[in-house]
Amino acid sequence: METSHKPLDVLVIDDNAHIRMLITETLRAAGVTDVREAECGQTAWRALQEHASQIILVDNSMPGESGIEWTRRLRADPESPAPHARVIMVSGWLNEQRIAEARKAGIDAFVPKPFSCSTLLERIADVAPV
């Protein structure tokens, strides 16, 4: 999957290794060659400091810091390694209140769990930089 002939760079943050693998393999099958994984917000932050991603897929329920809290920090911290990255929340716990809170934190799009590969790829295409 490429947008305007520009390759995508994606970071997948989820504490569930099986979900990370499913998302990563889906992206690679769609042609995304630069996919990195992190099991928590702290590891993701370090990964972004080494190499900022254009798109971040984040779970909300993670140990230590929720996806909403992590995104709020990504957007507001003056030392943020990727304050303008597109963030997609992939979560099994989406309701109107959580979506409103997530949007306020700076999350750009949502993919409910369980998800289809096509839904995941559609959301990425929706937010991908041109």
Give 44-64 pLDDT, tens digit per residue: 999 999 999 999 999 999 989
DSSP structure class, residue 107: -
pLDDT at 6: 63
pLDDT at 106: 98
pLDDT at 94: 82
For residues 58 and 56, what is the distance between their CA atoms, to the nearest angstrom?
6
pLDDT at 2: 45
Positions in the chain whose pLDDT score sits under 70: 1-6
Q: At what angle do helices 67-76 and 96-105 cross, to 10 degrees?
A: 20
pLDDT at 71: 98
Q: Model-level pTM?
A: 0.93
For residues 19 and 7, what is the distance between their CA atoms, to the nearest angstrom?
23
Nearest to 90 by CA among 55, 47, 54: 55
**Number of Cβ atoms within 10 Å of the Cβ of 3:** 15
